[in-house]
Structure 1
Amino acid sequence: MIRSMQATDIPDVLSLLHWMDAAPEREVFAPDSRDPRELHLECEDGLCLVEEDGDGVRAYCALSPFRDGLVLEGPISEGGPVGALLARAAQHTDGQPVYAFSARDNLPVRAALEEVGFAPLHSTAFYSAPLDRVARHARVPDGYRTTDRLPVAEYRALYRAAEDAWAGRLDWTPEQYAAHFADDTVALVALWHGDHPVGFTELEFSPDDARADVTYLAVHPAERGQGLGRVLLALAAAEAQTRPELRTLRVRAHDHLHSARALYARMGFTHCRSIVTYLLEGEEEA
C-alpha cells in the first residue's frame, strides 16, 4: 500500500536511510537528517510517500521545492520494485519539472526513474585528494593577490561570465550573499590581477568527514589558459589546511567539462563517485 508518510514511520525511514548510507552505489538524493526529531521537521515541508507491506515500510520517496520546480528524494527501497511509488509521486507534481539524482551505479533506481519518464541530463563525477598533496603547490603568481571576500557585484559578474548552470545565485540579495559567507563552514578565495578579480573558489567544510568540498570554481573566460584554475585549487587547499580537522579536498565536474577533469588528474585527484542528474519535464502551458 502506498500512502502519505506518518510520524510513526520515522524509525522505518531512518532504517532505509542508514541502509542507503552503507553502500555508495545505493546513493540517491535524500534527507540530511539522521535523527528522528530532525527528520520529522525536515519532512514537514514536502510531500512524503511510503510504501508498506505486512512487515512495515519498505520504500520511501518525497517531493520538495527545488530550483524552478521540484526535487525527488529517493526512491529508497531495500528490495522490490519502486515503479508504483514513483508513479504516485508523479501525480503530485502539478505540471512542474522534477529533478532527481542517483548514483551512477544505482541501476535499479535509474531504471525505475526512466520507466516513469525521467530523462538523464548529465553525470557529475567527484574526485578527492589529500589536502597536503594539493596545498603544496599553493602560491600567488607575481602581479596577483588574494582576498577572502568579493563585493557582491564582482561576485555576480564573475559568476555570470563563467556560464555555470547553477544560476540561482544570481538572484541572491546582498543580505543573502552576506549571510552565506558569514557561515563558518563556508570560505571563499578570490584571485585578483591588479584591481580586477579574475577568479574565485568557494569551499564548504565538513569536519565530521574531515573533508573540504570545492563547491564552485570560476575563472573569467578572458583569463583562462594561464593555469589559474590550478592556482585557485591549490590556494583553496591551503585555506582548508588552516583547519586541522580536515584531511581531504573534494572537487566535481560535469561530464562535458573535459579540461576540469584533466586538471584534477594532473593534480593527483582520484575518482570517488559519480551522480546522474535526471529531469521529468513539466507540462507546458497552452
Structure 2
Amino acid sequence: MIRPMQATDAPDVLALLSWMDDAPEREVFAPDARDAAALHDECEDRVCLVAEGVDGAVQGYCALAPFRDGLVLEGPLGTGELHGLLLRAVERTDGLPVYAFSARDNLAVREVLEAAGFTAMHTTDFYTGRADHLARSARVPTGYTTETALAPQEYRALFRAAEDGWSGRLDWTDAELRTHFARDDVRLVALRRGGRAVGFAELELNAEAARADLTYVAVHPADRGQGLGRVLLGLAAAEAAAHPEVRTLRARAHDHARPARALYARAGLTHCRSVVTYLRDDTEGEP
C-alpha cells in the first residue's frame, strides 16, 4: 500500500536511510536527517509518500521538495517495488519540472526513473584528496594578489563570464550573496591582477564529515591557459587545511567539463563517486 508518510513511520524511514548509507551504489537524493526530530523538520515542506509491505513495515520512501524552478525528488528509496511509488509521487507534481539524482551504479533506481519519463541530463563526477597534501602547491603567482571577498557585482560578473551551467546563482540578490558568504562554513579565495578579479574558488566546510567541498572554481575566459585553475585549487586547499577538523578536499565536475576533470587528475585527486542528474519536464514544448 502506498500512502502519505506519518510521524510513526520515522523509524522505518531512518532505517532505509541507514541501508542506503551502507552501500554507495544505493545512493539517491534523500533527506539529510538521521534522527526522528530532524526528519520531521525536513518533511514539513515536502510531499512524502511511503510504500507499506504486507507486514505493515515501510519498504519504500519517496518525496517531493521545492527546488529551482520546480521540484526535486527524494528517492525512490527502498527494497520493495519502487515503480508504483514513483508514479504516485509524479501524480503530485502539478506539471512542474522534477529533478532527480541517483548514483551512476544505482541501476535499479535509474531504470525506474527512466520508465517514469525522467531523462538523464548529465553525470557529475566527484574527486577527493588530502587537503594538506594539495595545499603544498599553494602559491600566489608574481603580479597577482588574493582576497577573501568580492563585491556582489564583481562576483556576479565573473561568475557570468566563467560559468556555463550553474546560472541560478546569477539570480541571487546582493543581500543573498552577502548572507551566503557570511556563513561560518563558506570561504572564498579570489585571485586579482591589475585591479581585476580573474578567478575565484569557493569552499564549503563540513566539520562533521572532516571535509571541505570545492563548490566552484571560476577563471575568466580571457585568463585561461595560464595555470590559474591549479593555483586556485592549491589556495583553496590551503584554506581548507587551515581548519584542523578538515582532512580532505572534495571537488566535482560535470561530464562535459573536461578542463576541470583534467585539472583534478593532474593535481592528484582520486575519483570517488558519480551521480546522474535526471529531469522530468512535462512543460517542454509548450508555448
TM-score when normalising by structure 1: 0.98
1:127 aligns with 2:127: yes
Alignment of 1:217-232 (within 5 A): 217-232=217-232
Note the alpha carbon deviations across 1:96-146, whole angstroms, 9 max, x for none: 110000000101000110111111000000000111221101000000000
Note the alpha carbon deviations across 1:224-255, whole angstroms, 9 max, x for none: 00000000000000011110111111100000
In structure 1, runs of 5+ residues without a counterpart are: none
Corresponding residue for 2:150?
150
Corresponding residue for 2:69?
68
Residue 57 of structure 1 aligns with an amino acid whose one-letter code is: V
Corresponding residue for 2:166?
166
TM-score when normalising by structure 2: 0.97
Note the alpha carbon deviations across 1:59-102, whole angstroms, 9 max, x for none: 0000111111110000110x232000011111111111100000
Corresponding residue for 1:24?
24
Corresponding residue for 1:54?
54
Alignment of 1:61-140 (within 5 A): 61-77=62-78, 79-140=79-140
Corresponding residue for 1:248?
248
1:38 aligns with 2:38: yes
Query: Any conservation in 2 of the 1:133–1:268 contact (CA below 8 Å)?
Result: no
Residue 174 of structure 1 aligns with an amino acid whose one-letter code is: D
Report deviation, 1:211. 0.7
Query: Any conservation in 2 of the 1:28–1:102 contact (CA below 8 Å)?
Result: yes
Report deviation, 1:169. 1.4
Report deviation, 1:174. 1.6
Corresponding residue for 2:268?
268
Q: Report SS of the residue matched to 2:141.
A: coil
Q: Report SS of the residue matched to 1:72.
A: strand
Q: Report SS of the residue matched to 2:129.
A: strand
Alignment of 1:180-195 (within 5 A): 180-195=180-195
Query: Any conservation in 2 of the 1:98–1:282 contact (CA below 8 Å)?
Result: no
Note the alpha carbon deviations across 1:142-184, whole angstroms, 9 max, x for none: 0000000000000000111113311111111121111111111
Report deviation, 1:54. 2.5
In structure 2, runs of 5+ residues without a counterpart are: none
Moved beyond 6 Å, runs of 4+: none
The CA distance in 2 between the partners of 1:272 and 1:163, in whole Å, is 24
The CA distance in 1 between the partners of 2:131 and 2:86, in whole Å, is 40
The CA distance in 2 between the partners of 1:41 and 1:260, in whole Å, is 37
Residue 175 of structure 2 aligns with an amino acid whose one-letter code is: E
The CA distance in 2 between the partners of 1:16 and 1:282, in whole Å, is 30
Q: Report SS of the residue matched to 2:149.
A: coil
How large is the Cα RMSD of the aligned pairs?
Answer: 1.0
The CA distance in 1 between the partners of 2:65 and 2:165, in whole Å, is 20
Corresponding residue for 2:6?
6
The CA distance in 2 between the partners of 1:49 and 1:202, in whole Å, is 36
Report deviation, 1:283. 2.7
Q: Report SS of the residue matched to 1:208.
A: coil
- Report the identity percentage: 65
Query: Any conservation in 1 of the 2:163–2:218 contact (CA below 8 Å)?
Result: no
Q: Report SS of the residue matched to 2:58.
A: strand
